[in-house]
Chains A and B, each alone.
Chain A
Amino acid sequence: MTITENKPANIIGTRLLRREDPPLLTGEAKFTNDLNIPGALHLSVLRSPYAHAKIKSIDVSAALKIAGVIAVYTGKDLQSAWAAPMPCAWPVTADMKNPPHFPLAIDKVNYVGDGVAAVLATNETASRDALDAIDVEYEPLKAVVDLEDSLSDKNIIHQDLGTNKSYTWPLLVEETPGCVAEAFKKAKYKVKERYVQQRLIPMAMEPRAIAAVPQPFGGDITLYSSTQIPHILKVMTAITLGIPEQQVRVVAPSVGGGFGSKLDVYAEELLCMALARKHNAPVRWVEERSENTQATIQGRGQIQHIELAADENGKITAVRVRIVGDMGAYLQLVTPGVPLLGAFLYAGVYDIPKAYDFECTSVFTNLTPTDAYRGAGRPEATYAIEMAIEALAREMKIDSFELRKRNYIKKEQFPYTAFSGLTYDSGDHLLAAEKAAKMTDLVGVRAQQKKQNVPGATKLLGVGMSSYFEMCGLAPSRVLASLNYSAGGWEAATVRVLPTNKVQVITGTSPHGQGHETSWAMIAAEKLGVAPEDVDVLHSDTAISALGLDTYGSRSLPVGGVAIALACDKVIEKAKLIAAHQLECSADDLQFENGTFSVKGSPDRALPLAAIAFGAFTAHNLPDGCEPNLEAQVSYDPPNFSWPFGTHMCVVEVDTETGAVEILKYIAVDDCGNQINPLIVEGQVHGGVVQGIAQALFEEAVYDSDGNLKSSNLAEYLVPAACDVPAITTAHTVTPSPTNQLGVKGIGEAGTIGAAPTVITAIIDALSSLGVTTMAMPASPQTVWRTINEATRGGKQ
């Protein structure tokens, strides 16, 4: 069914080194801020120091006197520059409240970091100095920071909306009306839990950077941006600025990570473009790290209430979920959709009846807007269901792994139609979980734990696990339409065999660390029978790759990679007609292997692709009606999401005196179907797991009650370094996806989804003999210490 099965790994499935790495490691790669743009003006943005305040007056006169300063603009000055407010592409409900959001605040600021004025100067130093010289008079207002406080509508942020609630989105699936309530009434066991998903700051290695370069005449403009979404950005900036779309070109040079934070249309992109046009000069901006903590979107930010009902065997009979989502001050590109991406996953990997009651209410706060962050909605959902499973196991006094086994969707149930109507393509949860347990030496660890966790011991051992499903490669487009998403889920690819048999692949995906150049070359090389080195992959420039929907949501391989395979098929199809014509046989008699067409049964009647490519170029001898050149274009809309899954386990040791947690062992068994390049898969899992561990143990955007970010630099916002995380052991099971010819699923977000609950359940397990049943994230030493004290002394510290 799949390539790797037919043809044992030739190129696909090998650990080819990433072609992206040498330029990155030698510093040769060019990031946006490395571009040499003569005559560029520098933009600096003055940001609000208040979370919520009226702007009484702005005096820019002193700033204008600084040598090198060209202009200073306030929000009022630029009002006419915008044809539309900044875009939100996911109006999840018809009555969703979406306050108008402009690149600079006009008369009120709504979060610390909200843009207040823009300075243009001939150099970066002058534009930075000018910020200190602008005098703004604010009238501070009460800041709304807490989600439950926001819900109460005591202080309303956007007065015109009349409420802080943006929307309520329900997903109620019942076999018969009232069956959820009925299930809870009849349940032998019930749990009711509350979890907080702290806000996280994405922290890409490269902060955002932008350069807008207008053509001297004619009105064309090129936007260079450290973005994940050049294609979407082109459409959105054209609409927001009122520029004809064909005049906008967007280029994403080397991009140093995004994790969702660069899946957005930002104020600074619009400011650079508007001011470049106004001044008819290039305008560039680069974000400072501490600015990045305030002006770039943040992730997570949810309060989750989850209830499970189960029968006497622990079989789950109903799931009820209520969440409050923190939108921040405004809706960015997909802000309101993030909780919805998790909405279908609160039953996790478990076989439940049609008794599912989910509702999300999302509210505004006077904080930096949130948006998609690696996993977007799915890590939150997985955390809640996996923690709730542990709670249910405690309630039943049985082993949580045993409880999972009783509830896993079974291998033979796939393709599995879930309660929601969605079809899970393929899976074998038990296999992955048992593999993880074996690699963890679960039996041995449990024995050791019995020996070690004796009364009075101060180093306690714990084991944690989580089994997850990821829903990724979001498509088909019509399913996205049913969720009110404004764009599609397809991806485009062009494959072109050049006259000398070198290959160009043009993709609509926009890599920023994922290794697409390597993987896409491998797919084309395998299909066309050429060497991967002979395949060039072009991307991230809308003048070269005109069509595409970019990179996020673990979509690139299951959508964009499959599009390339399909385009290769089309190329092969055309080449076959030419080969048949030249070999004077029927196309049906030809086979294509290792880059050569030959007549079945008489192998010496053969033509290599190289000859056909050159023949297609000269066009001297083509069949009637056959166009010259060997090229094919595909826009592929997948028939289903892809559903990667797996089980992670870890062993921790908790120092009960200090509260420090050490992860002794981390095992990740992930199943992303067939793997194009296992080396890259492992890298994705490693990075994802580290981000999940970071949420579990280290990272939190901490705000005070006035809405000031206390963790606004890398000394306070604790991104773990290599020495702070354990060695990660990765392993895989391979359950190919039946919905695409490569049998692939996404892997970009899996690690992040699996890791946080794995670590937290391990800590709770370690401390269970002390009566600990909850643990807030991040489980900092102080939090762990306090939780132990609360459990053992029965009082709050």
Chain B
Amino acid sequence: MIPAAFDYKRASSAAEAISLISQYGSDAKFLAGGHSLLPLMKLRLAQPAMLIDIGRVKDLSYVKDAGNHIAIGALTQHMDVENSKVLHEHAPLLSKAASHVGDAQVRHRGTIGGSIAHADPASDLPATTLALGATYVVQGPKGQREIAAANFYKGFLESDLAADEMLIEIRVPKMQGAGWSFQKFNRRAQDWAIVGVAAWRRKGEAGVALVNMGSTPILATSVANAIAKGASISDAAAMASNEAEPQSDLNASTEYRKHLASVLVRRALEAASK
């Protein structure tokens, strides 16, 4: 439980953070809420030589109505996503997903940016923002760029984010009254999902993404396409795993995961269709 030795610098703005990370290169890591990074460091599975603490970059903690989308600062803690009135009105699915992250302590420390940047397929917010068709805004030494969530996740804990880039904002399209459901199946209330489903539905349109069903969060496009073509919910749900390649672990075999995904997608779409 004692990490390897490391240095520490605190950044007070995004610009300072980016300049620091460019300076220290690949041995450096951003530290946001620390709730994914520090456990890895304590087990010495991650041994960065330099931590650049962005946890106090307060101007990146916000939830704003930006017209057709909601803009969320990368350093916004899960608790604030959970409790945001703006999100309750325009993207309640994301608030609900945030309320399912770990326990209250985790939600008071962990950030939405950290969760997405970490790109853990078992995390709730990457899949949820993917289902909602979010866009991520990242800033690097050469300026800002936008990445569609659908193009962001590249592999297990791998994303399109360059080592010297920082995620600064998450843009979530307004849900415009769509029905929605977040289904998280786990053995203990505070655990990561064995399988999770984030889904919304507006008449013939639907968005469905899966948690922990492969090396990245998975967009279940077959399900959405089937719904668009007028398939029944249970027929659509049967395609839940078409895009997934779920792993096998202590809690679930590949086969059981696929089965769970179809049950949970069906339940999610039923709830979203009410």
Residues of chain A touching chain B, judged by Cβ–Cβ distance below 8 Å, are: 124-125, 128-129, 132, 288-290, 657-658, 660, 697-698, 702, 710-711, 715-716, 718, 720-721, 723-724, 780-782, 785-786, 797
**Binary interface profile of B, 171-209, with partner A (CB < 8 Å = 1, else 0)?**
000000000000001011111101000000000000000
Chain B residue numbers with a CB within 8 Å of A721 are 188-190
Chain B residue numbers with a CB within 8 Å of A781 are 185, 187, 194
**Binary interface profile of B, 248-274, with partner A (CB < 8 Å = 1, else 0)?**
001111011001100110000000000
8 Å CB contacts to A: which residues of B1-50?
A: 1-2, 4-5, 43-44
Chain B residue numbers with a CB within 8 Å of A720 are 188
A-B contact pairs, 23 of them (CB 8 A): A125-B5, A129-B4, A132-B44, A288-B1, A290-B43, A657-B263, A658-B264, A660-B185, A697-B187, A702-B250, A711-B250, A715-B191, A716-B250, A718-B188, A720-B188, A721-B188, A723-B189, A723-B190, A780-B187, A780-B251, A781-B187, A781-B194, A785-B256
Q: Are A797 and B250 in touch, CB under 8 angstroms?
A: no
Closest 7 CB pairs of A and B: A128-B2, A723-B189, A288-B1, A657-B263, A724-B188, A782-B256, A125-B2
Closest to B185 in A: A658
Chain A residue numbers with a CB within 8 Å of B188 are 698, 718, 720-721, 723-724
Closest to A697 in B: B187
**Binary interface profile of B, 237-252, with partner A (CB < 8 Å = 1, else 0)?**
0000000000000111
Closest to A783 in B: B256
Closest to A785 in B: B256
Most buried by A among B250, B251, B263, B264: B250
Determine which of A129, A290, A657, A782 lies in contact with B251 in the assembled complex, contact meaning CB atoms within 8 Å.
A782
- Min distance, Cβ B185 to any Cβ of chain A, angstroms: 6
Closest to B253 in A: A782
Q: Are A797 and B255 in touch, CB under 8 angstroms?
A: yes
CA distance A780 to B190 in the complex (A): 16
Closest to B259 in A: A785
Most buried by A among B185, B253, B256, B259: B256
CA distance A716 to B191 in the complex (A): 10
Chain B residue numbers with a CB within 8 Å of A710 are 250
Chain B, interface size: which category? 20 to 34
CA distance A781 to B188 in the complex (A): 11
CA distance A697 to B186 in the complex (A): 13
Chain A residue numbers with a CB within 8 Å of B255 are 797
CA distance A702 to B251 in the complex (A): 11
- Min distance, Cβ B37 to any Cβ of chain A, angstroms: 15
Determine which of A129, A715, A724, A797 lies in contact with B189 in the assembled complex, contact meaning CB atoms within 8 Å.
A724
Chain B residue numbers with a CB within 8 Å of A723 are 188-190
- Min distance, Cβ A42 to any Cβ of chain B, angstroms: 10
CA distance A718 to B251 in the complex (A): 10
Chain B residue numbers with a CB within 8 Å of A660 are 185
Q: Are A658 and B263 in touch, CB under 8 angstroms?
A: yes
- Min distance, Cβ A708 to any Cβ of chain B, angstroms: 12
Chain B residue numbers with a CB within 8 Å of A289 are 1
CA distance A128 to B263 in the complex (A): 46
Most buried by A among B4, B187, B259: B187
Chain B residue numbers with a CB within 8 Å of A658 are 185, 260, 263-264
CA distance A124 to B1 in the complex (A): 10
Q: Are A698 and B187 in touch, CB under 8 angstroms?
A: yes
- Min distance, Cβ A458 to any Cβ of chain B, angstroms: 9
CA distance A716 to B255 in the complex (A): 20
CA distance A781 to B192 in the complex (A): 15
Chain A residue numbers with a CB within 8 Å of B189 are 721, 723-724
CA distance A128 to B187 in the complex (A): 33
CA distance A721 to B189 in the complex (A): 8
CA distance A721 to B105 in the complex (A): 14
Determine which of A290, A702, A718, A782 lies in contact with B252 in the assembled complex, contact meaning CB atoms within 8 Å.
A782
CA distance A724 to B255 in the complex (A): 25
15 additional contacts (CB under 8 A) given A132-B44, A720-B188, A785-B256: A124-B2, A129-B5, A658-B185, A658-B263, A698-B188, A710-B250, A715-B191, A716-B250, A721-B189, A723-B188, A724-B187, A724-B189, A782-B252, A782-B256, A797-B255
- Min distance, Cβ A725 to any Cβ of chain B, angstroms: 10
- Min distance, Cβ B17 to any Cβ of chain A, angstroms: 27
Closest to B43 in A: A290
Chain A residue numbers with a CB within 8 Å of B264 are 658
Chain A residue numbers with a CB within 8 Å of B2 are 124-125, 128
- Min distance, Cβ A203 to any Cβ of chain B, angstroms: 14
Closest to A657 in B: B263
CA distance A681 to B188 in the complex (A): 27
